[in-house]
Amino acid sequence: MRNRVKTIGIMVCFISICFLSGCGGSGGGSSDPDDGGGGAIDPFEIEPSSIQTFEPVVGDICREDGKPVIRMFSTTGCSHCQWVADTYDAVVKMYVEEGLIVAYHWELDTGDDMLTSVVEGGVPDAEMAVYNEFNPENLVPAFIFGCRYVRIGTGHEGGGGLEAEAAEFMAVIEALLDE
């Protein structure tokens, strides 16, 4: 597990340096977790923490192509969603690029998967079924990791910040990969 995290960390370091120096991408988001404006942190320095704010769910892991499926559901008008979105996206992209997981970030009001360059025309019915099954109140942000761990809302916005969010996202993903 340590080697996998180290390899991913090195990859993210390179990507982060490129992002911060302005190559590729649209730039934008703040990297300061205390500014209240959101934006991604640089997860290459972060070790997975423990699972603290996700609730375990009994059942089989949701998989696509043998990989755990990691999901975030958000909306454009949700300030909590915007606060954590870039951090979620950065963490899951590390694992996607390593070929370890499948990940989605569904923006419910636009119907777009924010992790792709394609503008989707709507959230697929199968994805909405997962959202409704694990989140009957239809609240956002909603995180459904492998259909085994669920969290509604942010876990560390009040304390710990984006670094704690990234560390816990990584801990949950690592737990799924170890099953």
Could you state, in order of their start, the residue ranges of all structural domains in the chain? 2-19+44-178
Percent of the chain whose pLDDT exceeds 90: 70
Average pLDDT over residues 63-77: 98
Lowest mean per-residue pLDDT among 9-18, 34-43, 80-89:
9-18
> pTM for the full model?
0.78
Residue 1 has pLDDT above 80, yes or no: no
Residues 162-171 have a mean pLDDT of 96
In this structure, what token pair is assigned to residue 28?
């934008």
Q: Hey, how many other C-beta atoms are within 10 angstroms of the C-beta on 12?
A: 21
Q: What is the mean pLDDT of residues 116-132?
A: 97
Q: Which amino acid is at 8?
A: I
Is the pLDDT at 34 greater than 80, yes or no? Answer: no
Q: How many CB atoms lie within 10 A of CB 109?
A: 12
Determine whether 136 is exposed, middle or buried from the number of CB atoms within 10 Å of its CB (0-12, 13-18, 19+): exposed
134, pLDDT greater than 80: yes
Q: Both ends of the chain: CA-CA distance in Å? A: 12
Q: What share of the chain in percent tops pLDDT 70?
A: 76
* Residue 12: pLDDT over 80: no
Q: How far is CA 143 from the centre of its chain?
A: 8
- C-alpha–C-alpha distance, residues 29 and 32, integer Å: 9
Say how far apart CA 55 and CA 149 lie, in whole Å.
5
Q: Which amino acid is at 133?
A: E
Max Cα-Cα span within the chain: 44
- 148, 59 Cβ separation under 8 angstroms: yes
With contact defined as beta carbons under 8 Å apart, do 150 and 137 qualify? no
CATH of 2-19+44-178, one of 3.40.30.10, 3.40.50.300, 3.40.640.10, 1.10.287.540: 3.40.30.10
- Residues of 43-74 as b/e, b for ≥16 C-beta within 10 angstroms? bbebebbebebbeeeeeebbeeeebbbbbbbb
